[in-house]
Amino acid sequence: MNKLKCAVIGTGYLGKFHAEKYASLPDCELVAVVDTNEEAAREIAKNNATDFLTDYQPLLGEVEAVSVVVPTSLHHQVSKDFLKAGSNVLVEKPITVTVEEADDLIAVAKENNLILQVGHLERFNPAIVGLDSIKEQPIFIESDRLSPFNPRANDVSVVLDLMIHDIDIILAIVDSEVDRIEASGTAVLTKGIDIANARIVFENGCVANVTASRISMKMERKMRMFRPNSYVSVDFQNRVLTQHQTGTKEMFPGIPEIVTEESVFEDADALLEEIKHFVNCIQTKENPLVSGEAGRKALATAIQISNLLNQ
């Protein structure tokens, strides 16, 4: 079988890792990496035995798959150019700046029968993958995504940088539409929102309390889900899934016992799994786990939260 011709647009912090993953896959050929910073592009190309460009235009129509890892403001234009030229696209999160731009990419991808996948990496965290076996709907979700300050992603607020990961997961888990949202947050070190909390109420009654901070003194990425007969805790950072649920025996007369099961997953390369999934979807024409529609839904909710914070 011919190798899939691939390229990476943007060789910054995340882009260099995308390049490494494509270069490592036996069924992919990394044709080139692209960055307006020639020195950065040259270095990443050298490390992965490929070519480099400072303009992506010559690659249009020449590659079958592309990772778009440029600043969010450029996601729409770069992704659309490649989709119109016949390339399948994996675009980093958030999918675009606006919902209208996301709708445009989804329409172009459908029109050309191409895969549009959004890089919500936590969906490939083994602890979250382990949740697939739990079908009971949650009634309350609490998530905390806290990180020390890093100047890398400050072109967007903490909602679009960090909170959107948990928004995406929560929207995928809760089988209901959002009814209303309350939010609070503030800027501390940057001109954008650096710490935020949102209370998302769904039409089925489920409530999600979501907190994100990029000015914390520690790194913490946890989610807790309360269900009618169980409590589930997910530690994304340490890849631990803990389930507490009622058992068949009694702890006290008339009171069921609580059975605890903890699963600790081996260290896994979530980005590699994400790119392998992208490649497989191209080969099989299956819908990606994080489709353009899923990315759009997360973006729309994140924008609604951001608008509330900016009032």
- Are residues 255 and 236 located together in one domain of the fold? yes
pLDDT attached to residue 155: 66
**Strands (E) located in 120-275:** 140-146, 178-186, 195-202, 207-213, 220-227, 230-235, 240-252, 255-264
Q: How many domains does the chain have?
A: 2
Q: Which domain holds residue 127?
A: 123-266+300-309
- Are residues 219 and 253 located together in one domain of the fold? yes
Domain limit, last residue, from 114, 137, 157: 114
Q: Is the pLDDT of residue 153 over 70?
A: no
Residue 58 lies in a domain: yes
CATH classification of the domain holding 174? 3.30.360.10
- Are residues 154 and 257 located together in one domain of the fold? yes
Residue 133's pLDDT band, with cuts at 50, 70 and 90, is: low
Domain limit, last residue, from 79, 114, 149: 114
Q: What is the dihedral of CA 281, 290, 277, 165, to 10 degrees?
A: 170
Average pLDDT estimate for 108-114: 98
Residue 154's pLDDT band, with cuts at 50, 70 and 90, is: low
Q: What is the pLDDT of residues 8-22, one digit of tens each?
A: 999 998 999 999 999
- Are residues 137 and 249 located together in one domain of the fold? yes
Is the torsion defined by CA of 93, 269, 89, 117 positive or negative?
negative
Residues contacting residue 135 through CB under 8 Å, at least 6 positions apart: none
- Are residues 77 and 131 located together in one domain of the fold? no
Q: Is the pLDDT of residue 272 over 90?
A: yes
CATH classification of the domain holding 52? 3.40.50.720
**Which pTM does this prediction carry?**
0.92
Given a contact cutoff of 8 angstroms between Cβ atoms, the answer to whether 136 and 227 are in contact is yes
Q: Is the pLDDT of residue 307 over 90?
A: yes
Q: What is the pLDDT of residues 173-185, one digit of tens each?
A: 999 999 999 999 9
- Are residues 164 and 34 located together in one domain of the fold? no
- First vs last Cα of the chain: how many Å apart? 55
Query: Which residues face 230 on adjacent strands?
Result: 227, 245
CA atoms within 13 A on the CB side of 288: 33
Residue 280 lies in a domain: no
- Are residues 91 and 181 located together in one domain of the fold? no
Tell me which of 35-44, 63-72, 255-264 is least confident: 255-264
- Are residues 142 and 241 located together in one domain of the fold? yes
Residue 73 lies in a domain: yes
Mean pLDDT of the chain: 93
- Are residues 97 and 177 located together in one domain of the fold? no
- Are residues 52 and 84 located together in one domain of the fold? yes
CA atoms within 13 A on the CB side of 182: 5
